[in-house]
Amino acid sequence: MKRNFDFEQEGIQVKKSCCYFCHQNCGVLAYVKDDKVLAIEGDPDFPTNTGGLCCRGNIALLHLDHPDRINYPLKRIGKRGEGKWQRISWDQALDEIAAKLAQIREEYGAEAVATAGGTQRTDDWARRRFMNLFGSPNGFHNSHLCWIPTFMIETAVCGWSPFEIDLANSRCIVLWGQNPGASNMPEMHHLSELKQKNGLKIITIDPRFTETAAKSDLWLPLRPGSDLALALAWLHVIIYEGLYDPVFVENYCEGFGELANHVEQFTPEWAEPLTWLSADLIRESARMYAMNKPGNIQWGVAMDQQGRASGAAIHARILIRAITGNLDVPGSDLLTGPSLEFITDEEMEANEYLSEEQKAKQIGADKFKLLTWPGYSKIAEMSKKYWGKAPTAEWMCEAHPPSVFRAILTGDPYPVKALLVSATNPVNSYGESKLVLEALRAVDFMVTCEYWMTPTAALSDYVLPIAGALERPTITSSYGCSDFLLASQRAIKPMYERRNDYNFWRDLGIRLGQEDMWPWETVEDAYLHKLEPLGYGSDSYDEFVEYWRFHFPERQYQKYLDKGGFGTPSGKIELYSSVLKDLGYSPLPEYVGPVENEIDHPELAKEYPLVLSTGNGFMPFHHSEHFQIPDVRFLNSEPYFQINPETAEEYGIKEGDWVWIETQRGRMKQKADVTQAVAPRVIITQRGWWFPERKMEEPDLAGCLESNTNVLTSTRDEDCCPLSGTWANRGLLCKIYKVDSTEQKEDN
C-alpha cells in the first residue's frame, strides 16, 4: 500500500487474494490495474486475519518482483553448482526432464525417482497424482516434523485427529510447544480476545519465555525434549486425583484400566528430575486443564520434532484429552472428519493407481510403519468405513526423507537416481544438513521448482520459475483434512514465465503418458471441480471466490452419539490402541528419554554438557525463507541463539559474540542472545539460516552450513520415532565455545 494511493481510480479491480508466506494464508485485497498489483492490504472480511498482516505479509509487493526472483526456466551448462545457466523454454525443459525420468524408470524402476517438498504451500495433491501415475511411492515432505505424526497417532486412537479447537466456548487452553505469538498471528489475536472477554485460561508449555508465554496464566519451562515425561505425569495426576471424566471414560473409552496401571509409576515426583519442573507445578497445571472444562490442547510442532520420543508423547497427549472428556463436546477439541461436501485432496490424488508392488517399495515403510503405506492403508480403510473418506495421502503417507537421502548416497535399499524438489531447500530444512548436502551433490538428476536460487537450486540440473503470492489461486483446508475451506484467487497472471507447480506436474505427466488423467488445464479448473459438489453454482473458480470466498459447514458436536461411537475398530476411543498394536507398536505410551540426555548417557553429557533445542519459528522469517528481503531482514539481520546469563558467564560469552555450537554431528555458529528467557544449560538456536547476499558457489553455497541449525540435528534410524520416523530436532546434547577471532569462515 503506497501513500496517497487512489483506491477509486479508474480501471482498478479488487482481487480477493491471500498471503502465501506461511500456512495461515491470511486474506489479502489486491488492487490491480492492467494486470499489475498496485497495492495490497489485509482483507478486513477474511475470517482469520480480519485485516491484519504480519511483517511478511506486508512485503508481498517487494517479493513479487524482487530482482533475485527466478523468472525463466534455467538449464545447467557448467559443472554442478558452478552457477552457469542457460535460459530455455518451458517446453524444452519439460521435454528433457520427461525424457530423463522415462530413462531412469526404464533402467532402475519408477521408485528411483523421488520428490522432496517443504511446507504445505504448493499444489501437492497434483504432485502425488503425478507420482502415483508415474509409479513411484517415494514422495516426501518435511511433514514428519510438522503435525503429520500427530494427525496419524490421534487418528489411530480416536478415529480422527481432533484438530479443530472450539475456542469460543472454551475455558482453558494448553499451548503445548506452540508460540502463536510468533507463528500464528490470527490465533494469538483470538486468544487475547477470549482471555479479555471470557477469562480464558492459557497454559504455555515451552522451554523458552516466548511472546505467548508472557501472556499466559501459567508457564511451564520444561527441559527441551521432556514432553513425554510431563504428559505421562499429567495422566497420572488426572487419573489418581480423580479428575478424569468417569462417564465419558466408561461409555466411550476402551482400556482405561490398562492405562491407569501403566501410568501409576509416572508420578510428578518421577517427572521432576526429567522435566526440570517442580512436582507442584506439574500438579497445578494438570489440575488447571482438567478442572477448567471444556478445554483444549492446541497442537504445536514441538512434540513432532523430538525423534525417538515423539510418538509416545503425542500418544500420551491425546489420552489426556480423552480421559478428561475434552473431545467433540462444545468448547473442546473437535473431530470433524473429512469433508463429505467437496472433493478432498485425497480424492484428487489417484492413490488407487499406485500398485501394491510399488507401495511395498516405499523407502522407510519397513522401519517406520505409521506414516507409510502399512499404517496409512490401515487408517485410510478405517476412516473410509466410518467417515466415508480417507485422509490425504500426500503428507500422511510418505517415504522417510533421511532414508531417501541415505539411499541416494549408498544405493541401499536400492538406487535413487532423481530428485524433484518443489518448495523446499532441503540443505537448510531437513535434518543432518551435511548428509543432505552430500546427497544433493551426489544425486544423478535434480530438478528444482523455486522462487530463488537457493543452495539446493544451485546444485540442480534444471531450475523452474514458480508463481508465488498474488500469482496463484489457493484453497486453504488444513492439508486437505478440514471440513471447511477458504478460497483465494490470483491477483494477476504469473509474471515473466513463472507457472504454478500444478502445471509442472501436469505437463510433465502428459509427456509421460498420463494425458487422460489431467483433464483440468489450469489450477482454477481443478479447483472448480473440487468445489462443484458444494452446489454454489459458480461458473468459474474466480466467481466462487468473489461471491462466496469460504465454505464452513454447520458445527455438529458429539457426532459419536449419532454415529454410535468413534471411528476405531472397537468404536470407542482406544486408550489401549489396537491399531498401534497391530502395527507392532506398544498400545500404550511407553516412557523413553530424549534422544540424548544426561541421565541415560552420562558419558556423552560430559563432552556435550548443554541441552539443545532447534527448529522453533521466529519473526520475520518462515523456515528458510525471506533472508533476501532487507525490509524484513533488518528486524533480525543475523542468526542468534539464546543462552542464559549464568551459562554465558561460565563460558565467557558476551551478548553478540559469535559462538560455535557443536553436537556429535558437527558444528555451526550463531551469535549469543544472552537472556533470562531460557534456563541455565539450555541452548536454543534459530533455524533456517543461509546468506543469499553471499556468493552462491561451491563449496560454501551462500554459507548454507555455516549457521544452519540442522547441521546439529540427528536423523539416525535409532534416533527417529519408531512409529512415524520423525527425527530429532529437540532435546539433544551440545557443547559451545567462542569463535576464535582469527578463525576463518566455516571449515566444512
Partner 1 sequence: MARYAMVIDTRRCIGCQSCTVACKVHNELPVDMIYNPVTTVGPTGVFPNLHMVHIPLLCMHCENTPCVDACPTGASLRREDGIVWIDEKKCVGCKACVMACPYGARIFNQEKGIVQKCDFCLDRVEKGNIPRCVQSCHQKARIFGDLDDPNSEVAKLKNSHHTVRLLDELGSKPSVFYIYGLEARMK
Taking the complex as a whole, the smallest distance from the CB of residue 192 to partner 1 amounts, in Å, to 5
CA distance 540 to 524: 8
Helices 148-158 and 373-387 pack at an angle, to 10 degrees, of: 50
Residue type present at position 596: E
- 3-class secondary-structure state, position 480: coil
Taking the complex as a whole, the smallest distance from the CB of residue 221 to partner 1 amounts, in Å, to 5
CA distance 706 to 703: 5
Residue type present at position 197: K
Taking the complex as a whole, the smallest distance from the CB of residue 555 to partner 1 amounts, in Å, to 24
CA distance 222 to 230: 8
Taking the complex as a whole, the smallest distance from the CB of residue 572 to partner 1 amounts, in Å, to 40
**Dihedral sign, Cα of residue 202, residue 203, residue 208, residue 209:** positive
Q: Which three cell numbers stand for residue 368?
A: 517406520
Taking the complex as a whole, the smallest distance from the CB of residue 546 to partner 1 amounts, in Å, to 22
Alpha carbon separation from 19 to 58, 308, 509 (Å, rounded): 9, 35, 29
Nearer to partner 1, 586 or 675 (CB): 675
CA proximity to 427, closest of 634, 53, 708? 708
Torsion of CA 348, 353, 354, 357, to 10 degrees: 160
Pairing, β 13-18 against β 27-33: antiparallel
Alpha carbon separation from 644 to 376, 552, 610, 638, 652 (Å, rounded): 43, 46, 11, 19, 12
Nearer to partner 1, 53 or 696 (CB): 53
Given a contact cutoff of 8 angstroms between Cβ atoms, the answer to whether 631 and 677 are in contact is: no
Nearer to partner 1, 56 or 129 (CB): 56
For cell 533402467, what's the residue?
107
Taking the complex as a whole, the smallest distance from the CB of residue 31 to partner 1 amounts, in Å, to 13
User: Is residue 333 within a helix (H) or strand (E), and if so which, with residue range?
Assistant: strand 333-334
Alpha carbon separation from 353 to 114, 133, 350, 380, 514 (Å, rounded): 17, 6, 6, 15, 11
Rg of the chain, C-alpha, whole Å: 25
Taking the complex as a whole, the smallest distance from the CB of residue 653 to partner 1 amounts, in Å, to 17
Taking the complex as a whole, the smallest distance from the CB of residue 288 to partner 1 amounts, in Å, to 17
Nearer to partner 1, 411 or 630 (CB): 630
Taking the complex as a whole, the smallest distance from the CB of residue 470 to partner 1 amounts, in Å, to 14
**Dihedral sign, Cα of residue 358, residue 359, residue 360, residue 362:** positive
Where helices occur in 109-179 by DSSP H, the ranges are 124-134, 148-158
Nearer to partner 1, 207 or 587 (CB): 207
Nearer to partner 1, 364 or 620 (CB): 620
Q: What is the DSSP string of 343-389?
A: --HHHHS-GGGS-HHHHTT-TTTTT--TTSHHHHHHHHHHHHHHHSS
- Give me the residues that bind partner 1 (CB under 8 A), please: 1-5, 7, 41-42, 44, 49, 51-55, 57-59, 61-62, 181-182, 185-186, 188-189, 192-193, 196, 209, 211-212, 214-215, 219, 221, 619-620, 630-632, 634-635, 644, 675-680
Nearer to partner 1, 570 or 675 (CB): 675
Nearer to partner 1, 300 or 375 (CB): 300
Nearer to partner 1, 609 or 680 (CB): 680
**DSSP-derived secondary structure letter, 556:** -
Taking the complex as a whole, the smallest distance from the CB of residue 66 to partner 1 amounts, in Å, to 14
Nearer to partner 1, 538 or 642 (CB): 642
- Cβ partners under 8 Å of residue 8, min gap 6: none
Q: Which long-range contacts (CB under 8 A, 24 or more apart) does 190-195 make?
A: 191/167, 191/215, 194/167, 194/168, 194/170
Dihedral pair phi/psi, residue 156, rounded to 5°: -60, -40
CB atoms inside a 10 Å sphere around CB 217: 16
- 3-class secondary-structure state, position 93: helix
Nearer to partner 1, 33 or 195 (CB): 195
Nearer to partner 1, 276 or 342 (CB): 276
Taking the complex as a whole, the smallest distance from the CB of residue 179 to partner 1 amounts, in Å, to 10
Dihedral pair phi/psi, residue 116, rounded to 5°: -115, 135
Question: Where does residue 725 fall: left (phi above 0), alpha (psi -120 to 50 degrees), or beta otherwise?
Answer: left
Taking the complex as a whole, the smallest distance from the CB of residue 630 to partner 1 amounts, in Å, to 5
Taking the complex as a whole, the smallest distance from the CB of residue 10 to partner 1 amounts, in Å, to 17
Taking the complex as a whole, the smallest distance from the CB of residue 185 to partner 1 amounts, in Å, to 4
Nearer to partner 1, 502 or 621 (CB): 621
Nearer to partner 1, 52 or 553 (CB): 52
Nearer to partner 1, 44 or 330 (CB): 44
Taking the complex as a whole, the smallest distance from the CB of residue 182 to partner 1 amounts, in Å, to 7
Nearer to partner 1, 360 or 635 (CB): 635
Q: What is the DSSP string of 172-203?
A: EEEEES--HHHH-HHHHHHHHHHHHHH--EEE
Residues in the chain: 748
Taking the complex as a whole, the smallest distance from the CB of residue 686 to partner 1 amounts, in Å, to 16
